[in-house]
């Protein structure tokens, strides 16, 4: 199929002029490429598709900004107008990198008003001790302690650039000149093969940009991960967790192929765990910490409410990110969550009856 500027189909769709395709065939012929050229050709097609998607979405960014609040308006009212301002500390990496690049511009990061629902536990006991979940938390903590500056300094930014994957590395289109991320800290974005990129992706799952970043991810992993480990068993759970992190990273990469910002954190893999939890235990009760002004209270909600609201919010903000707003890898959260839900279903996961904690009966 060939589309040209001024085509009636484009006019009917009211496509912005800058989004109209050039005069060329929009078909990717895989048979015309050598085996080692297939991946670059496929990435180029995805990059073009993502660019057009961002063009089509950009006029409606303002409207999209209003969707989450409109959709979730009833939740704060029921919980006592429990709203708060939250800023993801992982934005530090982008801020420090952008500060060092005078001629490269990306949209400014921002603070959004979000529903502050913090799960702290669930009423869904496990049958076995969560060895792997605790081991993953321990590995993340060790990696965080060994990160220069605990993820919050110029040295840590250089460490992330050298060890974490950046989307532009798949197409070898990263900035070639050294990046000055501090008064005396200079770093270059390394070239990576696809194998090296996957290795860096796994390593980056254990890196975090600050204490709040790792604390939030590990809390979610502890609340929801032990039940998924209990269902899958230790070996399958390790594979599930790592594959979820890889899927989440690729979801971010394929929607940001021109980005040079390294992606760090376990949130993609943890999102996969959360997606699996929603499929297995939608009716489990989750204890949620809700800040109401300066008072914190605990409310018990169904897992499908907590995780469903979380996913919808991530998806809507991810749409804004594609349109050029924000600096958090929202689409990684969406990709990890979708992977977890689909993967657990394919592994035989179906809604389970939450187990009840044993309580002694007293007679008087």
Query: What does each of the 364 residues of the chain score in pLDDT, given as a tens digit?
Result: 444 444 444 344 344 444 444 434 444 444 555 555 555 565 566 556 555 555 544 444 444 444 444 444 443 333 333 333 333 434 445 444 544 444 333 333 333 434 568 899 999 999 999 999 999 999 999 999 999 999 888 899 999 999 999 999 988 778 888 888 778 888 889 999 999 999 999 999 999 999 999 999 999 999 999 999 999 999 999 999 999 999 999 999 988 888 888 989 999 999 999 999 999 999 999 999 988 777 889 999 999 999 999 998 888 877 766 655 455 678 899 999 999 999 999 999 999 887 766 544 444 4
Distance CA 207, CA 142 (A): 10
Distance CA 225, CA 266 (A): 12
Distance CA 337, CA 186 (A): 36
DSSP 103: S
Q: Kindly report the number of other CB atoms within 10 A of residue 235's CB atom.
A: 9
pLDDT at 259: 86
Q: How much helix, strand and coil, in percent to the nearest 5, is found in the chain?
A: 55, 10, 35
Q: Would you state the structure tokens that stand for residue 226, as one six-digit string?
A: 């032990």
Give bridge partners of residue 67 from the DSSP assignment: none
pLDDT at 172: 76
Q: If 0-12 CB within 10 Å is exposed, 13-18 middle and 19+ buried, where does residue 364 land?
A: exposed
Instruction: Specify the pairing of strand 83-86 against strand 112-115.
Output: antiparallel
Q: Could you identify the residue written with the tokens 């912005």?
A: 16
Contact 161, 189 (CB under 8 A): yes
- CATH for 64-346? 1.20.1540.10
CA angle 220, 226, 232 (to 5 degrees): 125
Question: Which residues, in sequence order, are CB contacts of 335 under 8 Å at separation 6+?
Answer: 247, 248, 250, 251, 252, 268, 271
Q: CA dihedral in degrees (29, 33, 38, 43; nearest 10)?
A: -60
Contact 351, 279 (CB under 8 A): yes
Closest CA to 280 of 201, 358, 206, 225: 225
Contact 330, 110 (CB under 8 A): no
pLDDT at 99: 45
Distance CA 103, CA 114 (A): 33
Main-chain phi, psi angles of 253, to 5 degrees: -65, -50
Contact 84, 293 (CB under 8 A): no
Distance CA 308, CA 312 (A): 6
pLDDT at 48: 61
Q: Could you state, in order of their start, the residue ranges of all structural domains in the chain? A: 2-32, 64-346
Closest CA to 274 of 313, 317, 235, 311: 311
Predicted TM-score (pTM) of the model is 0.69
pLDDT at 37: 57
pLDDT at 319: 73
Look at the alpha carbons of 98, 104, 106, 110 in this order and tell me if their dihedral is positive or negative: positive
Q: Would you state the structure tokens that stand for residue 304, as one six-digit string?
A: 């499908």
Q: If 0-12 CB within 10 Å is exposed, 13-18 middle and 19+ buried, where does residue 67 land?
A: middle
Question: Which residues, in sequence order, are CB contacts of 304 under 8 Å at separation 6+?
Answer: 278, 282, 283
């Amino acid at each position: 199929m060939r589309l040209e500027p001024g085509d009636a189909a484009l006019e009917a769709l009211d496509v912005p002029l800058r989004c109209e395709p050039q005069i060329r065939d929009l078909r990717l012929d895989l048979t015309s490429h050598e085996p080692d050229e297939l991946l670059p050709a496929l990435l180029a097609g995805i990059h073009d598709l993502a660019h057009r998607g961002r063009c089509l979405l950009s006029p409606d960014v303002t409207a999209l900004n209003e969707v989450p609040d409109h959709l979730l308006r009833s939740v704060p009212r029921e919980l006592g107008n429990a709203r708060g301002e939250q800023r993801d500390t992982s934005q530090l990496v982008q801020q420090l990198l952008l500060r060092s690049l005078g001629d490269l511009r990306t949209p400014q990061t921002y603070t959004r008003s979000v529903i502050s629902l913090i799960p702290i536990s669930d009423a869904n006991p496990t049958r076995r001790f969560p060895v792997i979940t605790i081991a993953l938390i321990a590995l993340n903590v060790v990696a965080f302690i060994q990160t220069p500056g605990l993820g919050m300094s110029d040295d840590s930014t250089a460490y992330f650039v050298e060890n974490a994957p950046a989307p532009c590395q798949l197409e070898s289109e990263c900035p070639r000149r050294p990046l000055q991320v501090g008064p005396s800290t200079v770093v270059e974005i390394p070239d990576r093969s696809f194998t090296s990129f996957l290795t860096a992706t796994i390593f980056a799952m254990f890196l975090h940009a600050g204490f709040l970043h790792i604390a939030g991810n590990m809390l979610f992993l502890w609340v929801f991960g032990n039940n998924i480990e209990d269902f899958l068993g230790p070996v399958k759970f390790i594979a599930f967790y790592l594959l979820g992190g890889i899927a989440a990273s690729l979801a971010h990469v394929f929607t940001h192929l021109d980005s040079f910002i390294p992606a760090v954190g376990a949130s993609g893999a943890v999102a996969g765990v959360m997606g699996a939890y929603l499929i297995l235990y939608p009716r489990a009760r989750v204890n949620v910490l809700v800040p109401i002004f300066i008072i914190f209270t605990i409310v018990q909600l169904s897992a499908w409410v907590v995780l469903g609201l979380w996913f919808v919010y991530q998806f809507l903000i991810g749409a804004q990110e594609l349109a050029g707003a924000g600096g958090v890898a929202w689409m990684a959260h969406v990709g990890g969550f979708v992977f977890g839900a689909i993967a657990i279903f394919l592994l035989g996961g179906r809604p389970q009856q939450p187990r009840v904690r044993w309580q002694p009966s007293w007679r008087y």
